Amino acid sequence: MKDQHLVTLNVNGREHEVVLESRKTLADVLRQDLGLTGTHLGCEHGICGACTVLVDGEPVRSCLVFGVQADGREVRTVESLADGDELNDLQQAFSRHHGLQCGFCTPGFLMLGEAYLATDPAPDREEVREVVSANLCRCTGYQGIVDAVCEVAQLRREKSTHD
Amino acid sequence: MTPDPADPADPGERTKGQRWVGNRLPRREDARMLRGAGRFVDDIASPHAYHLAFVRSAVASGRITQVSVDEALAMSGVVAVLTSADLDHPHLTAVLERDEFVATAMPLLAHDRVRYAGEPVAVVVAESRYVAEDAAETVWCEIEETPAVLSLDDIDGDLPGIHDEAPDGVLVDLQMFSDAIDDVLAQAPLVLEETYRSGRVTAAPMESRACLADWRERDEQVVLEVSTQVPHQVRTGVAQSLGLPERRVRVIAPDVGGGFGQKCVVGREEVVAAALAVRLRHPVRWSEDRQENLIASFHGREQEYRVRAGFDDQGRLVGLDADIRCNIGAYSAYPFSCGVEPLMAATELPGLYKVKRYAARARGFATNKPPTAPYRGVSRPQIVLVMELLMDKAARRLGIDRVEIRRRNTIQADEFPYLGPNAITYEPGSYVEALDRCVEEVEKAGWWERRDEDDGLLRGVGIANFSERTAYGTATMGMRKMAMTPGFEVSHVRMDASGDVVVTSGTCGHGQGHETTFAQIVADRLGISPDRIKLRQGDTDLTSFGWGTFGSRSLVIGGGSAAVAARGLAEQLRQVAAEILEADPADIDLVDGHAEVRGTPDTWLSIDEIAATVHFRSHTLTQREDQLLEARGSADPPGMFSNAAHAALVEVDPGTGDARVVDYIVVEDCGVVVNPTIVDGQVRGGVAQGIASALYEEMSYSPEGQPLTGTFMDYLMPTASEIPSIAVHHLETPCDQTETGAKGMGEGGTIGAPAAIVSALNDALRDSGADIDFVPVRPGDLLRVLEGTADKAPRKESA
Nearest to A137 among B206, B290, B510 (CB): B206
pLDDT tens digits for B568-610? 999 999 999 999 999 999 999 999 999 999 999 889 999 999 9
Q: Which of B790, B779, B794 lies closest to B696 in space, CA to CA?
A: B779
B40 touching A (Cβ < 8 Å): yes
Q: Which of residues 665-704 of B touch A (CB under 8 A)?
A: 677-678, 680-681, 684-689
**A36 and A70 inside one domain:** yes
Would the pLDDT of B118 be above 80?
Answer: yes
- A72 and A102 inside one domain: no
Same domain flag for B366 and B506: no
Encoded amino acid at B132, one letter: A
Q: Does A4 touch chain B (CB under 8 A)?
A: no
Q: Which of B24, B206, B714 to mutate to test the interface with A (most CBs of A within 10 A)?
A: B206
Residue A2 or residue B31, greater confidence: B31
Lowest mean pLDDT among A42-46, B482-486, B636-640: B482-486
Q: Does B726 touch chain A (CB under 8 A)?
A: yes
Does any CB of chain B come closer than 8 Å to the CB of residue A23? yes
B663 found inside a domain: yes
Last residue of a domain, one of B610, B635, B660: B635
DSSP H helical ranges for B527-632 = 559-581, 607-616
To the nearest 10 degrees (0 to 180), the angle between helices B380-398 and B748-764 is: 30
**Chain B residues 251-280 with a CB less than 8 Å from chain A:** 255-258, 260
Q: Are strands B594-597 and B600-606 parallel, antiparallel or unpaired?
A: antiparallel
CB within 8 Å: A98 and B678:
yes
Residue B731 CA neighbour count, 13 Å, CB half:
20
pLDDT at residue number B156? 77
Structural domain span for residue B752:
303-474+638-787
Residues B797/B152, Cβ–Cβ less than 8 Å: yes
Burial of B589 (0-12, 13-18, 19+ CB in 10 A): middle
Q: Is the pTM of this model over 0.90?
A: yes
Number of structural domains, chain B?
3
Task: Provide the mean pLDDT of chain B.
Answer: 94
Q: Which residues of A touch B40 (CB under 8 A)?
A: 37, 40, 104
Domain boundary among A80, A100, A126: A80
For position B122, what pLDDT does the model report? 98
Q: Compare CB distances from B206 to A95, A105, A134 and report the shortest one's residue.
A: A105
C-alpha B135/C-alpha B125 separation (Å) is 9
The C-alpha atoms of residue B252 and residue B231 are separated, in whole angstroms, by 6
* Residue A61 contacts B, CB cutoff 8 Å: no
Question: Does one domain contain both B625 and B650?
Answer: no
Give A-chain residues touching B685 at CB under 8 angstroms: 101, 138-141
Considering only alpha carbons, which residue of chain A is nearest residue B47?
A: A32
Rounded Cα distance between B387 and B419, Å, is 18
Tell how far CA A86 is from the center of its chain.
Answer: 18
Number of structural domains found in chain A: 2
> Where does a domain end: B635, B659, B683?
B635
Q: Which residue has the higher pLDDT, B3 or B645?
A: B645
Contacts of A42 in chain B (CB under 8 A): 206-208, 290
- Is A141's CB within 8 Å of B207's CB? no
Are residue B282 and residue B367 in the same domain, yes or no? no
B23, B35, B130, B285, best to mutate vs chain A, most A CBs in 10 Å: B35
Which pLDDT band holds residue B3 (cuts at 50, 70, 90)? very low
Distance CA B341, CA B325 (A): 9
CA distances from B521 to A86, B16, B18, B178, B606 (A): 27, 17, 12, 44, 20
* From B34, B206, B722, residue closest to A95, measured CB to CB: B34
In a domain, residue B319? The reply is: yes
Residues A96 and A151 in one domain: yes
End-of-domain residue from the set B609, B635, B661: B635
Q: Choose among B27, B207, B290: nearest Cβ to A104.
A: B207
> Residue A74: which domain range?
4-80
Please indicate, yes or no, whether residues B333 and B264 belong to a single structural domain of this protein: no
CA distances from B582 to B567, B575, B578, B587, B603 (A): 22, 10, 5, 11, 10
CA distance B605 to B134: 66
A98 and A157 inside one domain: yes
Answer yes or no: do B628 and B672 share one domain: no
* Integer angstrom CA distances of residue A119 from A99, A115, A123, A145, B721: 21, 7, 11, 18, 21
- B675 interaction partners in chain A (CB closer than 8 Å): none
Say yes or no: B646 contacts chain A, CB-CB below 8 A.
no
Q: Yes or no: say if B636 and B622 are a contact pair by the CB < 8 Å rule.
A: no
**What CA–CA distances, in Å, run from B454 to A149, B170, B460, B763, B769?**
34, 51, 13, 15, 19
Q: Is the pLDDT of residue B794 over 70?
A: no
Let me know: does B557 contact B491? Beta carbons within 8 Å: no
Look up residue B167 and give its amino acid.
Answer: P
Give the nearest partner residue to A96 out of B26, B205, B511, using CB atoms.
B26
- List residues bridging with B425 in a β-sheet: B419
Note whether B378 and B260 are same-domain residues.
Answer: no
> What 8-state DSSP symbol labels residue B170?
E
Q: Is A10 on the interface with B (CB under 8 A)?
A: no
Closest residue in B to A93 (Cα–Cα): B34
Helices B402-409 and B431-444: crossing angle, nearest 10°?
A: 160
Contacts A–B by Cβ distance under 8 A = 173
Tell me, yes or no, if A102 comes closer than 8 A to chain B by beta carbon. Answer: yes
- Radius of gyration of chain A, Cα coordinates, nearest whole angstrom: 16
CATH number of the domain residue B118 falls in: 3.90.1170.50
- Residue A54: give its domain's CATH number: 3.10.20.30
Same domain, B460 and B355: yes
Q: What angle do CA B742, B745, B746 make, to 5 degrees?
A: 135
- Which residues in chain A are closer than 8 Å to B130, comparing Cβ atoms? 21, 23-24
Kindly report the CATH number assigned to the domain that includes residue B565: 3.30.365.10
Residue length of chain A: 163
CB contact under 8 A, B35 and A79: yes
Residue-wise pLDDT for B699-734, tens only, equals 999 999 999 999 999 999 999 999 999 999 999 999
Residues B207, A40: C-beta atoms closer than 8 Å: yes
Q: Give the phi and the psi of residue B68 in degrees, each rounded to 5.
A: -105, 120
ipTM passes above 0.90: yes
A9 pLDDT exceeds 50? yes
Which residues on adjacent β-strands are paired with residue B309? B192, B320
Task: Determine whether the interchain pair B688/A142 forms a contact, defined as Cβ–Cβ distance below 8 Å.
Answer: yes
Q: What is the pLDDT of residues B36-52, one digit of tens each?
A: 999 999 999 999 999 99
Query: Rounded to an integer, what distance in angstroms lies between the CA atom of residue B440 and that of residue B729?
Result: 12
User: Tens of pLDDT along B133-156?
Assistant: 999 999 999 999 999 999 988 887
HEC-encoded secondary structure of B532-554: HEEEEECECCCCCCCCCCCCCCH
Q: Would strands B533-537 and B501-505 be described as parallel, antiparallel, or unpaired?
A: parallel
Burial of B248 by CB count in 10 Å (0-12 exposed, 13-18 middle, 19+ buried)?
Answer: middle
Any chain B CB within 8 A of the CB of A41? yes
How much of chain B is in helix, strand and coil states, percent to nearest 5? Answer: 30, 25, 40
d(CA B594, CA B599): 14
| Chain A residues lying within 8 Å of B32, measured CB to CB | 103
Average pLDDT over residues B290-310: 98
Q: What is the DSSP letter of B330?
A: S
Supply the CATH number for residue A144's domain: 1.10.150.120
Contact predicate B691/B661, CB 8 Å: yes
Tell me the chain B residues in contact with residue A91 when contact means C-beta distances shorter than 8 Å. 34-35
Among A29, A54, A80, identify where a domain stops. A80
